[in-house]
Amino acid sequence: MMPAPQQRDPLLPPLQDAQGRTMTYLRLSVTDRCNFRCSYCSPASWGGKKDLLSPEEFERIASVFARMGIRRVRLTGGEPLIRPDIVDIVRRIAALPGMEQVAITTNASHLERLAVPLREAGANQLNISLDTLSEATFRSISKQGDFASILRGIDAAVGAGYAALKLNVVTMRGVNDAEAPALVAYAHARGITPRFIELMPFGQGTPVPTAELVERLQASGLSLVPDDEQHGATAGPATYWRAPGGRVGFISPLTQNFCGGCNRVRVASNGDLRSCLGGRAQAPLHALIRGGATDAELALAIRAALGEKPEGHRFTEPGAGAYLLPMMGIGG
C-alpha cells in the first residue's frame, strides 16, 4: 500500500494567488480613522471599525506573512500616525526575520514629531500624500486638517534620512490638475519622487487620465523621458519617467490597469484580509487569532482567500462601485 503524499507546509513560500502571481508585499492598515476628511477617501459618513488590532496582533499577522514570503510591509490607514503606538508597531514589524522594507503612507501632519522616531524604529520609506500646494485648495478637498503641519512634516521627513521619499498626488480635474508642474518642482527640490494617481471610484471628483497629464506636464516645459529602469521586485504599480530634477511616477488604475503584475495583499485595521482592492474575497484573520488558530491555520486561511483573488479589478465596469468601501475602510 502506497503511503499518502505529504501535504505541503502552508507556511512555506511562495505565496501565490489564483492567477499564479507571487505575493511579496503586504499593505497593513493600522487604523481606518483619519484627522483629515478628503472627499475622495474618507466621507463624513464613515464611522470606522470599532475593533482595531493590537501591536502584538499586527506583529503576529506580519510574521506569518513573512514566513510565507512577504518581504515588504506598508503601514496604511486612515492615517497611521494618529495611533499612539505606531512607533512600537513599526519596531515590531521591522525586526521580523526576512523583512526587507517597512514603509508608511501618511498625510504628514504628525511627521514633524515622528519622522526621526519612525526611521529609528525601522521604517525606511515614506509615501506622503500632498494633493496641493494651496491651503485654499486643500480646504476644498478636506474640511479638517492643518495644512501648515503637512509642509513642516515633509521638511522633517526630508531631514530624517529616509532611504526613499515619495509624494502621492491624487489628481482631480478642475481641482488640482493645474498644479502638477508646481508639485513636481516642489518634490524634486527636496529630493522626493512625485507620483500622480488617477482618482479611483471611491468618493467624489473626476479623474484625469495619465496620458493627458503627461502631455500637460510636457506642454508646461517639463522634459519627460520614459524610465527604462522602472521594473523590478519593488517597482509596484507605478510607471516612471525621468525629468531633469528626478523621476516622476504615474499610477493609472483606470486607464492602464496594473493588475497583471500584482504582488500585493491587504489586511484591514480590524484584521480582515482583503485579497483585492476591488474584490470581495476576505479572511477574518483577527477572529482566527483570537480563537486560538495556529500559524499554519492562519496560512491556510490566507491561501484560501488568495485563491479567490480575481485577475483584475472591475472599477471601470458599470455598477462596480456599488460594493466598494471608502478608501480609508480598505487601507489604500
pLDDT digits (tens, 9 = 90+) for 75-118: 999 999 999 999 999 999 999 999 999 999 999 999 999 999 99
Domain 25-311, CATH 3.40.50.720 — does that match?
no
Say if residue 248 carries a ligand binding annotation.
no
41 is in an annotated binding site: yes
Q: Is 74 annotated as a binding residue?
A: yes
Whether 200 has a binding-site annotation, put simply, is yes
Question: For residue 122, what are the CA distances in angstroms to 231, 234, 267?
Answer: 25, 18, 20
Is 266 annotated in some ligand binding site? yes
User: Which helix (H) or strand (E) element contains residue 284?
Assistant: strand 282-284
Q: What is the DSSP letter of 108?
A: S
Average pLDDT over residues 30-46: 81
Q: Which three cell numbers stand for residue 119?
A: 526611521
Decide which of 127 and 8 is more confident: 127
Task: With a cut of 70, say whether residue 72 has pLDDT above it.
Answer: yes
Instruction: Confirm whether residue 38 is marked as ligand binding.
Output: yes
Q: Read off the pLDDT of residues 146-168 as tens digits, 9 standing for 90 and up.
A: 999 999 999 999 999 999 999 99
Q: Does the pLDDT value for residue 235 go beyond 70?
A: no
34 is in an annotated binding site: yes
pLDDT of residue 324: 46
CA distance 23 to 175: 35
Amino acid at 40: Y
Confidence bin at 233 (pLDDT 50/70/90):
very low
Q: How confident is the model at residue 322 (pLDDT cuts 50, 70, 90)?
A: very low
Domain ranges of the chain: 25-311
